[in-house]
Amino acid sequence: MSDEPRDDENAERPIPRTDGSRTDESRSGDSRSDEVEFAQYADDLRKAERKVAGEIDPGARAVVVAVAVLVAMGSLLLPHTGSASGLDVLTSAADAATERVAVVSKVFVWFLVVFGICGSMLALVTRRWVIAWIALCGCAIGCVAGMLAWWSRNTPGVGGVAPPSGVGAGLVIGWLALLVLTFHWSRVVWARSTYHLALEEERRREAVAREEAARKLKQRPGEH
């Protein structure tokens, strides 16, 4: 008699299904988790790429740029023309007025201070590509202004009045320092620009690879 209830219980007990539905659910859950992990990894990779792409690595050029900045600072203490030094031209002192300093000389000195000295120092400290690019543009324009300033000291002005003094040592040294800064910043910026192009090409390839990987992850097992 004790065996009959057991048979009834076994008959009423449901038989577990073996159609593989739970296996499919677990596989789909694993696929979704893989997609989430892949997306997080891709985001971290893009952030790291943007950070590296915005930085510069001047290497040994940093020493040359630092020396050129010191030379540019020293040129401000030397005579720009006659008895007027670079600082006198920068501050529009009485000596600069006496020497009848032209506007191009003032523009050159300001570009030398703002971009050649301050811009270069800021680019070296921060190592930002944008700041280096701005310093390059300012130094390039300053070189043109320095050439015109040199020309103005050897050319009579309006009415044939010649300048009382010629080109001073400060103007020559400052202009040469600005030429050196322009050359080295152009090499640094150009190298980084080439790296940007290569990085964009690599990103396009990675985007295609991510799309292909996502398409494969979405496929169900057994599908091709």
Quote the pLDDT of residue 97. Answer: 86
Quote the pLDDT of residue 140. Answer: 96
pLDDT at residue 28 above 70? no
Domain layout of the chain by residue ranges: 59-155+167-219
What 3-state DSSP class applies to 13?
coil
Quote the pLDDT of residue 1. Answer: 46
Q: What is the DSSP letter of 55?
A: B
What 3-state DSSP class applies to 156?
coil
pTM for this model (two decimals): 0.67
Express each pLDDT in 156-208 by its tens digit.
Answer: 765 666 777 888 999 999 999 999 999 999 998 887 666 666 666 676 777 77
Express each pLDDT in 121-158 by its tens digit.
Answer: 999 999 888 899 999 999 999 999 999 999 988 887 65
Q: H or E element: which one contains 177?
A: helix 169-218
∠ CA 142-147-153 to the nearest 5 degrees?
120
Quote the pLDDT of residue 119. Answer: 95
Q: What is the DSSP letter of 80?
A: E
Q: What is the average pLDDT score of the chain?
A: 78
